[in-house]
Amino acid sequence: QQQVKQSPQSLIVQKGGISIINCAYENTAFDYFPWYQQFPGKGPALLIAIRPDVSEKKEGRFTISFNKSAKQFSLHIMDSQPGDSATYFCAASMSVSGGSNYKLTFGKGTLLTVNP
Amino acid sequence: DTGVSQNPRHKITKRGQNVTFRCDPISEHNRLYWYRQTLGQGPEFLTYFQNEAQLEKSRLLSDRFSAERPKGSFSTLEIQRTEQGDSAMYLCASSYFRGTEAFFGQGTRLTVV
């Protein structure tokens, strides 16, 4: 059972355009939703994260939109640049006793290509 | 470099052989995680340690897999009697106990021939 579904599998955007990647989750116990960026041959790196008590979080060109009732969240990359070309993963985790999150459940990833 | 360090970066082994990978987490990080990533997929959770205690193991971690974290510092992941299906990238990550951000290493790519 795939708990976090991500779409699209791949995305091609022109430089300066907006990249949008969507994720949907099933487990309502999830309470932490990060996005990771992965370049070939590298490990994933945290890009931005959100908790369900807010509907939007923005950091520079990256914005997460969160819809708790629909159990969906998305990543928007404004003014996309060729250097943003990478694989993006959404993920989710839940708090355990003590209030900390631990294991991540990842989506299958989106390969983003930004053409110059 | 104070990031998560994994060795080796690449490992090619013959089916049936045993392999061991090492992960050195960010110092002072209490938690250490192992994930497996196959081509075109997101990382999948294998196991995690809080200090030296292994607190959870995924059912993906068959009895051929064993992980240790002696003294709560570095960790090793051993795969016995490797199979072709074990070919994947094995990722290690670490975090503070109260932290939410997990920092990943660059991974060890295993190829079983």
For residues B94 and B5, give the distance between their C-alpha atoms in angstroms, rounded to a whole number: 10
Q: Report the residue from B42, B91, B105 with minimal CB separation from A108.
A: B42
CB B37 within 8 A of CB B105: no
Nearest to A94 by CA among A18, A3, A22, A30: A30
pLDDT for residue B81 is more than 70: yes
> How many CB atoms within 10 Å of residue A94?
14
| pLDDT digit string, tens, across residues A12-25 | 999 999 999 999 99
Asked if B40's CB is within 8 angstroms of A103's CB, the reply is no
Sequence length of chain B is 113
Q: Which residues neighbour B110 within 8 Å (Cβ) at sequence distance 6 or greater?
A: B11, B12, B13, B19, B21, B79, B82, B86, B87, B88, B89, B90
CA-based nearest distance A26→chain B, Å: 17
Could you tell me the pLDDT band of residue A89, with boundaries at 50, 70 and 90? very high
**Is A89 at the interface with chain B, CB within 8 A?**
yes
Question: What digits encode the pLDDT tens for the residues B21-78?
Answer: 999 999 989 999 999 999 989 999 999 999 999 999 998 888 999 999 998 899 999 9
Q: What is the pLDDT of residues A24-54, one digit of tens each?
A: 999 998 989 999 999 998 999 999 999 989 9
